Each structure stands twice: as structure tokens, then as C-alpha cells.
Amino acid sequence: MKKPKPKRKQTYRSPESRARQLAGLSGVRIEDHVMGTGIQKINGAGPLASVSEDVRKQIIDLYCKGMSLRAIEEITGLSRQVCMEVKQTALDHDSQFRNAMFKVNLRGKLQSVVESAADRVAELMPEMSAKDSVLALGIAFDKVMSMDKNNGPDTLHQHIHMHAPAELNNAFMAALKPKDE
């Protein structure tokens, strides 16, 4: 009686193919959990296969600078879908990019609030008292300065020269003095 040949142990082309098989049996998509597996550069498939790493970095930098999607499309020459896919992948896997996008979005919202408030102050300016006008000017100036101070290493030094009635000048100078405790 002949001995049966031992069965050859099944081998896989790569550990990734074995992982894909096991994940598929469990109903799990690897692409949802492991960054970069949706990019199939071997056969040229996948939504991000045509985008190089340098272009991805450029797209992320443009988003961090607050550029709109349309502007990014024009600069890079890529489609809307690819730019949005790069952004979504970065949001899913890069916490620094998430924080930068939060700041960009918050700055945009604050900018629209400031513009609306400035329009309203400009409407009311003729009816405001001198004191209210000076306060509005000071607050607006401080907000603009605080928004711009983080843009670069340059320090901007401003002087304000006011020509107003003596009563208003005295009140303004008194407000600038440190309070005694």
C-alpha cells in the first residue's frame, strides 16, 4: 500500500494577502483600519494611486493655510474628488492636520463674526458717544492685533495719536493707568 502524499501547506503571496483573507472572513475591511491600504499603486487602482506623496503634502499644506477646495483644485490640477479624498484620509489619520483644520475653520467663523460686528459698529458710530467710539476702536484694534500676532515672527508696534476734547483725553489716559490695589 502506497503512502498518501502529505498535503502541501498552503502559502500566501504575502502576509497582507493572508490578513485580507482573514479579515474578509470576519467581515472587516482593512482599509477602514490601516492607513494606506486603499492606495493600490501596484495595479494603478484606487482613488489616490495617481497622487504622489509630495502632492499630498502640498494639498494638506494648502488646506492648513485656509485655501478653498476650488483654489486647491486650480493650484494642483487635480479633481475635486481626489482633493477631498486626500483631506479625508489626512483627517482620519493625522491628528495634527485635524487640529490645524479646526483652527482654520474656527478662524473663518470668527472672521465672519468680526466682520458682522464691525459693520454693526460702523452703522452705530454716528450715534455713539465719544467714549463708546474709543472703546469700540480699542477692542477692534486689540482683536486684529491678537489675530495677526501668530502669523509670523515680526512684531508690529503701533502708536495711536488721538485728538479729542480734554475730558475724553483724560478719561482715556485714566483707563490706561494701572489700577491701584
- Residue 35 shares a structural domain with residue 73: no
Question: Do the beta carbons of residue 134 and residue 174 sit within 8 Å?
Answer: no
Average pLDDT of the residues in 43-66: 80
- Residue 38 shares a structural domain with residue 63: no
The range of the structural domain enclosing residue 28 comes to 14-46
Higher pLDDT residue, 152 or 85?
A: 85
What per-residue confidence (pLDDT) applies to 179? Answer: 73
- Residue 62 shares a structural domain with residue 87: yes
- Residue 52 shares a structural domain with residue 99: yes
pLDDT for 56-85, tens place per residue?
899 999 998 888 899 999 999 888 888 888
DSSP tag of 40? B
CA proximity to 109, closest of 79, 147, 74: 147
pLDDT for 18-39, tens place per residue?
777 777 777 777 666 665 555 5
Q: What is the 3-state secondary structure (H, E, C) of 31-51?
A: HHCCCCCCCECCCCECCCCCC
Residue 96 lies in a domain: yes
- Residue 90 shares a structural domain with residue 59: yes
Whole-number Å distance between alpha carbons of 69 and 88: 13
Whole-number Å distance between alpha carbons of 110 and 49: 37
Whole-number Å distance between alpha carbons of 50 and 53: 10
Residue 65 lies in a domain: yes
Residue 120 lies in a domain: no
Whole-number Å distance between alpha carbons of 114 and 96: 27
What per-residue confidence (pLDDT) applies to 142? Answer: 77
**What pTM does this model have?**
0.46
- Residue 42 shares a structural domain with residue 82: no
Residue 53 lies in a domain: yes
- Residue 19 shares a structural domain with residue 34: yes
pLDDT for 80-127, tens place per residue?
888 888 888 888 888 888 888 888 888 788 777 777 777 777 787 778
> For cell 458682522, what's the residue?
116
Number of domains within the chain: 2
- Residue 34 shares a structural domain with residue 75: no
Residue 155 in this model has a pLDDT that exceeds 70: no
- Residue 66 shares a structural domain with residue 96: yes
